[in-house]
């Protein structure tokens, strides 16, 4: 009845075995999601590309959405955005990130997810990730009064820019001077962070 340290099954065989298979699914999925978008890639496509049976996706990741969750978990672009430089340049970092996305820069995977944003599955997975890997860490990072509100506002500006880019291709924004645009976004982000205590300059 005791569960042995290294469990029952056979030796991995050439390119098989739990870890190898998991990895192949992850790699293929990442590749396909990147080139085709989440919604356009079916479980069967992933399995076939990975040279693996369809059922194994569900066995190892629970569902197609679970597979995406795992991919995003390994990606880690959100936390990096917050902490990859000096705190006083946080807003500038974010502003430049936003604008660069307008120009089609940034991770292939990110672009792909932006592009194919859809499916209740992707929505819920992506949004969950956004909350736990961006908004909440950002609030902690800010570490002051109302930091949750400030973090939410920052997230709103960032997400909104992303959505507008998706809606109208970002043409209108890209047509404008990039540096001016970056400065404007920066100003918006800083306004998001402005203290609520500070009264309107016009007020007594």
The radius of gyration computed from the CA coordinates of the chain, to the nearest angstrom, equals: 21
SS3 sequence of 14-39 = CCCCHHHHHHHHHHHHHHHHHHHCCC
Question: Is residue 69 a contact partner of residue 57, using CB atoms and an 8 Å limit?
Answer: no
Of 17 and 79, CB closest to DNA: 17
Beta carbons within 8 Å of 85's beta carbon, 6+ residues apart: 93
Q: In degrees, to the nearest 5, what angle opens at C-alpha 43 toward C-alphas 39 and 47?
A: 135
The reply to whether 192 sits near its own copies by the rule CB under 8 A is yes
Q: Pick one of 164, 182, 202, 204: the residue that binds its own copies (CB under 8 A).
A: 164
CB of 104 to its own copies, least distance (A): 16
Q: Which of 16-24, 49-57, 66-74, 151-159 is the region at the interface with its own copies (rule: CB under 8 A)?
A: 151-159
CA distances from 51 to 11, 29, 116, 132 (A): 19, 12, 25, 33
**By CB under 8 A, is residue 184 in contact with its own copies?**
yes
CB closer to its own copies, 75 vs 152: 152
Residue numbers at the binding site for its own copies (CB under 8 A): 39-40, 116-124, 127, 130-131, 135, 139, 146, 148-149, 151-153, 155-161, 163-164, 166-168, 172-173, 175-177, 180-181, 183-184, 187-188, 191-192, 194, 196, 200
């Amino acid at each position: 009845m005791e569960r042995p340290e290294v469990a029952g099954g056979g030796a991995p065989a050439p390119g098989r075995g739990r870890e190898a298979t998991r990895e192949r699914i992850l790699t293929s999925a990442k590749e396909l999601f990147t080139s085709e978008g989440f919604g356009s890639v079916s479980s069967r496509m992933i399995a076939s590309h990975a040279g693996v049976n369809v059922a194994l996706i569900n066995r190892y990741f629970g569902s197609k959405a679970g597979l995406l969750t795992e991919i995003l978990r390994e990606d880690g672009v959100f936390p990096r955005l917050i902490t990859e430089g000096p705190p006083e340049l946080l807003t500038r970092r974010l502003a430049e990130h936003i604008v660069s996305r307008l120009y089609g820069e940034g991770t292939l995977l990110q672009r792909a997810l932006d592009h194919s944003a859809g499916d209740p599955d992707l929505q819920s997975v992506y949004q969950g990730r956004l909350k736990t890997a961006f908004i909440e860490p950002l609030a902690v990072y800010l570490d002051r009064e109302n930091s949750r509100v400030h973090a939410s506002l920052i997230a709103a500006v960032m997400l909104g820019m992303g959505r507008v880019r998706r809606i109208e291709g970002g043409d209108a924004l890209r047509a404008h001077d990039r540096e001016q645009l970056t400065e404007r976004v920066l100003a918006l982000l800083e306004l998001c962070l402005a203290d609520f205590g500070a009264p309107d300059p016009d007020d007594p």
